[in-house]
């Protein structure tokens, strides 16, 4: 199921989206797709809607077109479809090729994740090699190096594509295919390559070959003898590739033919333009060390990325089990329900919400910061669906005046200012943990607040055995120890709809 165009249009992190989608308990259903979009900050509602009512839909919606989740965008009397590839359909074609499933969505404001990319570094290396070749070498030597760089670039794109990274370059050369991925001749040749030497495919040796030639090309003409030998040896690879394409797979791969063209061009340059240099055993040995080093690096990267891919697939399968709501609910209800008489102190959110969370914490607890961040995120994302009580553990102590002053600042802000200011003050405390700055932000009068209600609430926590912090309770049931606190994000939608909870 190819979703590249849709994911790019929605500006989602592809790897994160696919991981969350694949790890959903109901993968690959429409429910899994909808829940994953919700998790990624694209709020949505799914419907089964007869085509006669589709004219009433907004300008953008998601539907299943040609058996693939697709973003549909109205453009007058036509529709732009973003999925495996971008295409234009009229109304009748859209209705014919799609099911009744529609998904209406709206984007939430989410933090943009910084994704580390090594392409700028690679491009910088390419630029340095290119400049050096043009300035310091003869024109035919520079041409040879440019061809080597082109081979490295294309081979890198193929190498990355092995591990699920879509290459726009390979796609533009081979052409996108809207149907089955195997129909694409490039994918058929590259991905189904039976060659395996030390776990490397034929395309991986293309990367090793061109990197080696690029390095050796920097030392021309001293290395011309070695380069000539390898360019002539490439005839074997050219013949093998053409044999596989023409007689085994019986289809030709455009990107493979492009690489063959580069090899032939280098063969021509190497055969007719390089100076003939004497045989040098030192150059041969250094070249051998170079090829072994490049082989080792590519082999290491290949094995590391394969292990990572295997672990991700295994983790996705395990998470489908872990994120099963029925299992989570069973674990949740196995804990003894806790009831409190003090439900008003530090109460925030929708008082009429069916889902009520309690967080038992201590302002000086190191782990409580992350737990409060989760609560703040949930309040921000589901302001009408949940309510929260912050149940700080506090015991009056004349020798700990800072703690008392801090709780007074919290209480004063909660009673006298908007709830959002109270939440901002809590967040500011866990970020800075400076009592003096909290007093300045709260602007509380000199006399401390009455903390009797807080003391009673803390006593209730102790009587219920809620001494270790942080603890999150869901409608009185303690969040299961077998789950990470962050896992609540995966269950919050179902919890808000579960009448039993």
Q: What is the mean predicted confidence (pLDDT) over 101-127?
A: 69
Helix H or strand E encompassing 264:
helix 254-272
Site of tokens 């991986």: 204
- Max distance between CA atoms of the chain, in angstroms, equals 95
Q: CATH no. for residue 351?
A: 3.40.30.10
Q: What is the mean predicted confidence (pLDDT) over 142-151?
A: 91
Q: CATH no. for residue 33?
A: 3.90.70.10
Site of tokens 């003391």: 455
Contact 423, 390 (CB under 8 A): no
Q: Does residue 188 sit within a domain?
A: yes
Contact 217, 223 (CB under 8 A): yes
Q: CATH no. for residue 292?
A: 1.20.1440.130
Q: What pLDDT was estimated at residue 421?
A: 92
448 closest CA partner among 481, 420, 412: 412
The runs of H, that is alpha helices, within 67-138 are 91-97, 119-136
Q: Are residues 81 and 218 in the same domain?
A: no
Q: What is the mean predicted confidence (pLDDT) over 225-231?
A: 84
d(CA 152, CA 211): 6
The highest-confidence range among 123-137, 261-275, 445-459, by mean pLDDT, is 123-137
Q: What pLDDT was estimated at residue 387?
A: 93
Q: What pLDDT was estimated at residue 413?
A: 92
d(CA 181, CA 214): 33
Q: What separation, in Å, do the N-terminal and C-terminal C-alpha atoms of the chain show?
A: 36
Read off the tokens for 305: 């990325």
d(CA 420, CA 348): 9
- Compute the mean pLDDT over every residue in the chain, rounded to the nearest whole number: 82
Per residue in 328-365, pLDDT (tens digit) is 888 889 888 988 888 888 999 998 898 999 999 988 88
DSSP 312-339: HHHHHHHHHHHT-HHHHHHHHHHSPP--
Structure letter (DSSP) for residue 469: S
Q: Are residues 343 and 430 in the same domain?
A: yes
Q: What pLDDT was estimated at residue 113?
A: 45
Q: Does residue 328 sit within a domain?
A: no
Q: Does residue 322 sit within a domain?
A: no
Q: Does residue 343 sit within a domain?
A: yes
Q: Does residue 214 sit within a domain?
A: yes
350 closest CA partner among 419, 421, 417, 424: 419
Q: Does residue 306 sit within a domain?
A: yes
Helix H or strand E encompassing 441:
helix 435-442
d(CA 286, CA 96): 64
Contact 355, 467 (CB under 8 A): no
Per residue in 364-383, pLDDT (tens digit) is 888 899 999 999 999 988 88
83 closest CA partner among 97, 66, 95: 66
Q: Does residue 113 sit within a domain?
A: no
Which residues are CB-contacts of 218 (< 8 A; sequence separation ≥ 6)? 129, 132, 133, 145
Residue 204 has pLDDT above 60, yes or no: yes
d(CA 51, CA 346): 49
Query: Angle at the Cα of 41 (from 40 to 43), degrees rounded to 5?
Result: 115
CA 475 centroid distance within chain: 32
Residue 234 has pLDDT above 50, yes or no: yes
Q: Are residues 482 and 340 in the same domain?
A: yes
Q: Are residues 192 and 306 in the same domain?
A: yes
Q: Are residues 440 and 357 in the same domain?
A: yes
Domain coverage including residue 69: 4-107
Residue 183 pLDDT grade (very low, low, confident, very high; cuts 50, 70, 90): very low
Domain count, the chain: 3
Among 107, 129, 156, the domain-final residue is: 107
Task: State if pTM tops 0.85.
Answer: no
Residue 96 has pLDDT above 80, yes or no: yes
Residue 99 has pLDDT above 70, yes or no: yes
Among 107, 137, 156, the domain-final residue is: 107
Q: Are residues 206 and 310 in the same domain?
A: yes
Which residues are CB-contacts of 45 (< 8 A; sequence separation ≥ 6)? 103, 104, 105
Q: Are residues 391 and 481 in the same domain?
A: yes
Q: Are residues 386 and 458 in the same domain?
A: yes
Q: Does residue 444 sit within a domain?
A: yes
Contact 178, 241 (CB under 8 A): no
Q: Are residues 411 and 305 in the same domain?
A: no
Read off the tokens for 314: 């295994």
Q: Are residues 342 and 488 in the same domain?
A: yes
Q: Are residues 286 and 365 in the same domain?
A: no
Per residue in 24-74, pLDDT (tens digit) is 777 777 777 887 887 777 777 778 888 887 888 888 888 888 888 888 888
Q: Are residues 389 and 461 in the same domain?
A: yes
């Amino acid at each position: 199921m190819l979703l590249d165009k849709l994911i790019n249009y929605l500006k989602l992190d592809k790897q994160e989206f696919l991981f969350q989608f694949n790890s959903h308990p109901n993968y690959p259903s429409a429910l899994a797709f909808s829940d994953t979009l919700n998790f990624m900050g694209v709020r949505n509602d799914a419907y089964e809607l007869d085509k006669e009512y589709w004219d009433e839909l907004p300008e953008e919606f998601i539907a299943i077109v040609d058996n693939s989740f697709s973003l549909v965008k109205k453009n007058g009397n036509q529709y732009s479809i973003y999925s495996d590839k971008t295409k234009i359909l009229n109304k009748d074609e859209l209705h014919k090729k799609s099911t009744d499933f529609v998904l209406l969505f709206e984007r939430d404001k989410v933090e943009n994740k910084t994704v580390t990319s090594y392409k700028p570094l690679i491009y910088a290396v390419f630029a340095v090699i290119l400049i050096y070749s043009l300035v310091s070498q003869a024109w035919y030597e520079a041409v040879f190096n440019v061809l080597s760089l082109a081979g490295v670039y294309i081979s890198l794109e193929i190498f990355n594509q092995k591990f699920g990274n879509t290459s726009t370059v390979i796609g533009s050369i081979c052409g996108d295919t809207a149907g089955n991925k195997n129909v694409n001749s490039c994918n058929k040749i590259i991905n189904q390559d039976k060659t395996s030497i030390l776990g490397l495919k034929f395309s991986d040796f293309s990367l090793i070959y061109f990197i080696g030639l690029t390095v050796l090309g920097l030392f021309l003409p001293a290395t011309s003898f070695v380069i000539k030998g390898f360019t002539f040896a490439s005839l074997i690879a050219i013949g093998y590739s053409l044999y596989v394409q023409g007689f085994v797979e019986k289809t030709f791969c455009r990107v493979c033919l492009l690489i063959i063209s580069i090899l032939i061009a280098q063969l021509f340059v190497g055969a007719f333009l390089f100076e003939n240099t004497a045989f040098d055993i030192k150059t041969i040995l250094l070249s051998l060390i170079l090829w072994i080093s490049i082989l080792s690096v590519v082999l290491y990267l290949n094995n590391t990325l394969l292990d990572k891919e295997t672990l991700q697939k295994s983790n996705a399968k395990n998470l489908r089990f872990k994120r099963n709501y029925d299992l989570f609910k069973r674990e949740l209800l196995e804990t003894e329900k806790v009831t409190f008489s003090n439900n008003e102190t530090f109460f925030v959110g929708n008082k009429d919400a069916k889902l009520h969370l309690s967080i038992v914490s201590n302002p000086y607890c190191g782990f409580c910061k992350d737990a409060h961040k989760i609560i703040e995120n949930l309040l921000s994302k589901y302001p009408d669906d949940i309510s929260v009580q912050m149940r700080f553990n506090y015991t009056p102590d004349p020798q700990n005046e800072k703690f008392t002053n801090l709780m007074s600042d919290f209480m004063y802000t909660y009673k006298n200012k908007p709830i959002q200011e109270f939440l901002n003050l809590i967040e500011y405390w866990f970020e800075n943990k400076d009592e003096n700055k909290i007093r300045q932000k709260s602007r509380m009068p000199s006399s401390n607040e009455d903390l009797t209600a807080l003391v009673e609430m803390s006593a209730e926590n102790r009587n219920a055995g809620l001494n270790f912090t942080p603890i999150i309770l869901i409608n009185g049931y303690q969040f299961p120890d077998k789950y990470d606190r962050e896992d609540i994000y995966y269950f919050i939608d179902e919890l808000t709809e579960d009448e039993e909870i």
